[in-house]
A and B are shown apart, each in its own frame.
Chain A
């Protein structure tokens, strides 16, 4: 029985390492400083129809900008929802809120993209824009952030709140002086995880926020951007061009590095919070 289980578990044990290893190895030829700083010129190196340039700077900045916008939009709302949950919601409202958040978390992101396409790109005439991408991604990460914030607040020992009330602090003061300081590691963890998530979503932004080329730095919030995720997608369709393949793996590595950075930070933060 044990042997059987071990055999079955072997793929799961080996795969993480294998995947990472493979990705980095494949990316090796293209991993150099030119990756970030190099020019984005499309195709003139080979005079052919490839879409692989050399530099990824505009893609990286595009992804990061959208992530930043999404977090800026979602974080305050998530915080308000959590505060509502902690302060004013009745038990049945609390249950319903959590249920709704769970459901929203489960909806495929592309559905959010579709709705964003109708509402933001067409009806509101924002066009394909950073703003639309930011809002859609914000909606995608909102349930995650809210659940996280709610749980962070719930973890505060009740005695702290009680003593604060006994001391005569107003609600606002309780929030500012007692809750936030106690809960901030948990909330920041959630924020970091949400950032990692926002960096990896591709489908919703493919037709609502990104273009193929032409943008180095968006000149307004209503301008389209390029992003790492969609760039990888375009490159994925060019497997016959060795350079494109290298660039794709390299872009994947860069994206991974960013995502891993946020995830690891979240993990360390969680450890720190648990040890406090």
Chain B
């Protein structure tokens, strides 16, 4: 066993010297992550000398990593706060590569029982714990499973700002706290009484986005409504590129903004910037 492991390590060391591969790490929002991961692969196929490793953790982690210098690219699905911007100003570029909508999602059963549009006030009341049962809104007689997100997630920041007033507002009515977009999608799809917040790319048959009532009009969380600005809970998806990044890294970011990169954005389900 030991001999084999020594051999493995030696082989690895040899392979280090054999190629000069640049490796950069992209860290942050799980909303931006699918785009990054697919773009990284496509880019690697064209430029084998650059490897991009992608990790999640949330927008908070992404911005923090760039500030601390532990990652070469940061991903966030929200705007930076004034404190964060102060630390980034002057040496990090904030580039928007896509936009999407934060959909207020409900379980399929809830949607099909008639809850297909909600006003901001109603959503806020649910998250504050004032409305506890779906029947108060015209649906089934079931308690509402309120899914909140970890406080550092970009999706939550945007949601809280639009619905509860401030990006760090508390949701007293929360029943459970989830982490990544994937986790929340799983919880919503496995229950029949849940409400949560997800990027519109995560909607599927089990996870339905409700329309948001704005001035009496029901606006659906679709790309078109993000484009024309009518959906109230929308945001840009940001990449943070330090000024001292290598040429390859900057080239990769350009790739993200190019036609090919934006095609990936569209493929995943977001609104391209071009």
Q: Which residues of A contact B (CB under 8 A)?
A: 41-44, 47-51, 64-65, 68-69, 71-72, 75, 121-122, 127-128, 191-192, 195, 207, 210-215, 217-221, 223-224, 234, 237-240
Q: A238–B53 contact, CB under 8 A?
A: no
Q: Which of B37, B40, B204 has the most CB of A within 10 A?
A: B37
In whole angstroms, what is the CA distance A210 to B27 when docked?
A: 12
| Number of inter-chain CB pairs below 8 Å | 124
Q: Provide the residues of chain A in CB contact with B93, threshold 8 Å.
A: none
Shortest beta-carbon distance, A10 to chain B, in Å?
A: 29
Q: A240–B190 contact, CB under 8 A?
A: yes
In whole angstroms, what is the CA distance A69 to B13 when docked?
A: 13
Q: A212–B201 contact, CB under 8 A?
A: no
Q: Which one, B14-22, B157-165, B239-247, is touching chain A?
A: B14-22
Q: Which residues of B contact A (CB under 8 A)?
A: 1-2, 4-6, 8-9, 12-13, 15-16, 19, 21, 23, 25-26, 33-34, 37-38, 40-41, 51-57, 68, 70, 179-183, 185-186, 188-190, 201-202, 204, 206-207, 267-269
Q: B40–A213 contact, CB under 8 A?
A: yes
Select one of A71, A214, A234 contacting B52, CB under 8 A.
A214
Q: Which of B9, B19, B188, B190 has the most CB of A within 10 A?
A: B9
Select one of B12, B13, B38 contacting A44, CB under 8 A.
B38
Q: A212–B55 contact, CB under 8 A?
A: yes
In whole angstroms, what is the CA distance A10 to B232 when docked?
A: 56
Closest-by-CB residue of B relative to A226 is B53
Q: B38–A71 contact, CB under 8 A?
A: no
| With contact pairs A41-B41, A219-B15 given, residues A75 and B2 touching in the complex (Cβ less than 8 Å) | yes
Q: B12–A221 contact, CB under 8 A?
A: yes
Q: A239–B186 contact, CB under 8 A?
A: yes
